[in-house]
Amino acid sequence: MKTNKESVEKEPVNIAEGIYWVGYSDENRGLHCNPYLIIEGDEAVLIDGGNRDDFSTVMLKILRTGLEPSRIIRLIYQHYDPDLCGSLPQLEAIINNDALRIISHTENNGFIRYYSDKTEKLDFRELDNHFDFATGRRLEFYATPYCHQPGSFVTYDTKTKTLFSSDLFGSFDTQWTLMLELDEACRECQDPKECSLDLTKCPVNGIVMFHQKVMTSNRALANTLNTIEKLDIDRIAPQHGGVISTKEDAKAIIRHLRAIKNVGIDYLLSGEFI
């Protein structure tokens, strides 16, 4: 799927059936945020809704899908950082629906209350690790502890086999594109620091660097990848960076992440930290 820069800046992007990217990009940041809207029948769910300052951008894209904000019945926050949760008070005000609930994890909810204490907050584990739309479409939740917060988790849409991975599979990227697509040489690459194609921009290096700096440890990352590899994934939709749009690319990125020697504190102490 190709998307041009102008359309990404102004419009929602449909990445799978009923799933819209409603995020925002800034070439000067090197860190791009990706809220996702799922519309199913008369209901909608917003995942990792974004920060306060970019609320107008996100909401304009939501409106351009044709959705009435009051149809959003769940806000899913996969951890509690402000780039995910900062716009919560604004979302509550414009959704204005007594049926609205927040789904997260108890470890996150204690911090999310500092953004707003208005909406009831649920722990996904008390929901038997899933949420069902009225149509029967199911979102499943999987804990990913210490990747990078104690209460971090991911969301899996069983209908489209899309994994909403939060900071996992995210990237630092000054040459950002919404859809990340690897060619065969990149899939087979053994060391992204030694590019056989002499690319000016390696599509993997930014992902590797992000995980080294943001995830807490190799053990936490390996434990989470073990969980993710059990799922049948067609695409990965992270909170930062580009959408990994094929099963083959997802497997290649997982292999690169497993090959990282130093993650988190070990990366800091190794002397490699930039």
pLDDT at 186: 75
The three-class DSSP label of residue 125 is helix
Asked if 246 contacts 235 with a C-beta cutoff of 8 angstroms, the reply is: yes
The half-sphere exposure of 201 on its side-chain side, counting CA atoms within 13 A, is 13
User: Which residues constitute the domain of residue 186?
Assistant: 5-269
Picking from 4-8, 216-220, 241-245, which range would have the lowest pLDDT averaged per residue? 4-8
Tokens of 203: 């599509």
Is 192 a residue whose pLDDT tops 70?
Answer: no
Q: What is the pLDDT of residues 224-239, one digit of tens each?
A: 999 999 999 999 999 9
Quickly list DSSP for 56-94.
HHHHHHHHHTT--GGGEEEEE-SS--HHHHTTHHHHHHH
Question: Is 34 inside a domain boundary?
Answer: yes
Tokens of 34: 């990706």
pLDDT band at 256 (very low <50, low <70, confident <90, very high): very high
Question: Is 207 inside a domain boundary?
Answer: yes
For 93, counting Cβ atoms within 10 Å of its Cβ (0-12 exposed, 13-18 middle, 19+ buried), the class is exposed
Total domains in the fold of the chain: 1
Q: Which residue has the tokens 């990404």?
A: 8
- The average pLDDT across 34-47 equals 98
Q: What is the pLDDT of residues 87-139, one digit of tens each?
A: 999 999 999 999 999 999 999 999 999 999 999 999 999 999 999 999 999 99
Question: Is 108 inside a domain boundary?
Answer: yes
Q: CA 172 to CA 176: how far, in whole Å? A: 9
Q: What is the pLDDT of residues 43-90, one digit of tens each?
A: 999 999 999 999 999 999 999 999 999 999 999 999 999 999 999 999
pLDDT at 196: 59
Question: Is 201 inside a domain boundary?
Answer: yes
Is 263 a residue whose pLDDT tops 90?
Answer: yes
Question: Is 61 inside a domain boundary?
Answer: yes
Question: Is 258 inside a domain boundary?
Answer: yes
Question: Is 246 inside a domain boundary?
Answer: yes
Question: Is 274 inside a domain boundary?
Answer: no
pLDDT band at 198 (very low <50, low <70, confident <90, very high): low
Tokens of 225: 């990848």
Task: Say what the pTM is.
Answer: 0.93
Q: 124: domain CATH number?
A: 3.60.15.10
